[in-house]
């Protein structure tokens, strides 16, 4: 029998010295302390509360963050774009439309003051203001009339006249003049 290998299946009592529990019967990990389970539950509850807060802010609140396209300037809820070259008023209006915007419609004197910084001291820019015929009044591109007490326009209000921002004032010019222009659009809330 020399050199022969013999296999045997031994059933030793569990208390017998040198006996081991088979690997398949051993637990995979020791039982975790009670505080581990408590910490895990607190973590899960915290995650659920955070998810609910994010959903609530998305529905009822606003983060206050707004986004404008590249090369546009954000101020309040609006994005502004200033042309580099010049064109006539109708082409300027068409260019703004292609950009998903409109020629600037000035809402208040603070916005007019902001334009000085936006245009970096340059003199004249088309805005969305025009008079289509001699019997009509100054009208913004959206169709609303100009409040002449808020923004008096210097120059004639004849047919084929368009509005120009000149520093912090609005003046009249022929719509066929070639000037730079300012487009505006709503900022996208995040």
Q: 133-171 pLDDT, tens per residue? A: 766 788 899 888 888 888 888 887 777 789 998 877 888
Q: Is the pLDDT of residue 83 over 70?
A: yes
- Give how far the C-alpha of residue 67 lies from the chain's centroid of Cα atoms, to the nearest Å: 3
The chain-wide mean pLDDT, for the chain, equals 81
Q: Is the pLDDT of residue 126 over 90?
A: yes
Q: What is the pLDDT of residues 50-67, one digit of tens each?
A: 888 777 666 665 557 889
- For the chain, what percent of residues have pLDDT higher than 90? 29
Q: Are residues 97 and 182 in the same domain?
A: yes
Q: Which of 60, 80, 113 is the endpoint of a domain?
A: 60
Helix or strand or coil: residue 103?
A: strand
Helix or strand or coil: residue 77?
A: coil
Q: What is residue 25's predicted lDDT score, i.e. its pLDDT?
A: 57
Which candidate, 75, 87, 69, places its Cα nearest to that of 126? 87
Q: What is residue 160's predicted lDDT score, i.e. its pLDDT?
A: 77
Average pLDDT, integer, range 9-19: 62
Q: What is residue 138's predicted lDDT score, i.e. its pLDDT?
A: 87
Q: Which of 11, 40, 60 is the endpoint of a domain?
A: 60
CATH number of the domain at 132, please: 3.10.100.10
Beta bridge partners of 79: 74, 185
Q: Is 8 inside a domain boundary?
A: no
Q: Is 17 inside a domain boundary?
A: no
More confident residue, 96 or 116: 96
Q: Are residues 93 and 116 in the same domain?
A: yes
- For the chain, what percent of residues have pLDDT higher than 70? 79
Q: Is the pLDDT of residue 16 over 70?
A: no
Q: What is the 3-state secondary structure (H, E, C) of 174-188?
A: ECCCCEEEEEEEECE
Q: Are residues 53 and 120 in the same domain?
A: no
Domain coverage including residue 86 = 66-189
């Amino acid at each position: 029998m020399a050199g022969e290998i013999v296999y045997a299946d031994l059933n030793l009592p569990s208390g017998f010295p040198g006996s081991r529990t088979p690997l398949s019967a051993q637990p995979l990990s020791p039982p975790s302390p009670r505080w581990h389970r408590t910490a895990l539950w607190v973590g899960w509850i915290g995650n659920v509360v955070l998810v609910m807060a994010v959903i609530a802010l998305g529905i009822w609140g606003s983060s206050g963050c707004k986004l404008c396209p590249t090369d546009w300037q954000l101020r309040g809820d609006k994005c502004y774009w200033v042309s580099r070259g010049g064109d006539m008023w109708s082409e300027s209006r068409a260019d703004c439309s292609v950009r998903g915007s409109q020629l600037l419609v000035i809402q208040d004197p603070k916005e007019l003051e902001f334009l000085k910084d936006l245009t970096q001291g340059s003199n004249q820019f088309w805005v969305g203001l025009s008079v289509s015929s001699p019997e009509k009044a100054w009208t913004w591109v959206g169709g609303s009339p100009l409040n002449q007490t808020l923004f008096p326009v210097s120059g004639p209000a004849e047919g084929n006249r368009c509005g120009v921002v000149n520093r912090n004032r609005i003046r009249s010019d022929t719509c066929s003049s070639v000037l730079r222009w300012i487009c505006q659009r709503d900022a996208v809330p995040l």
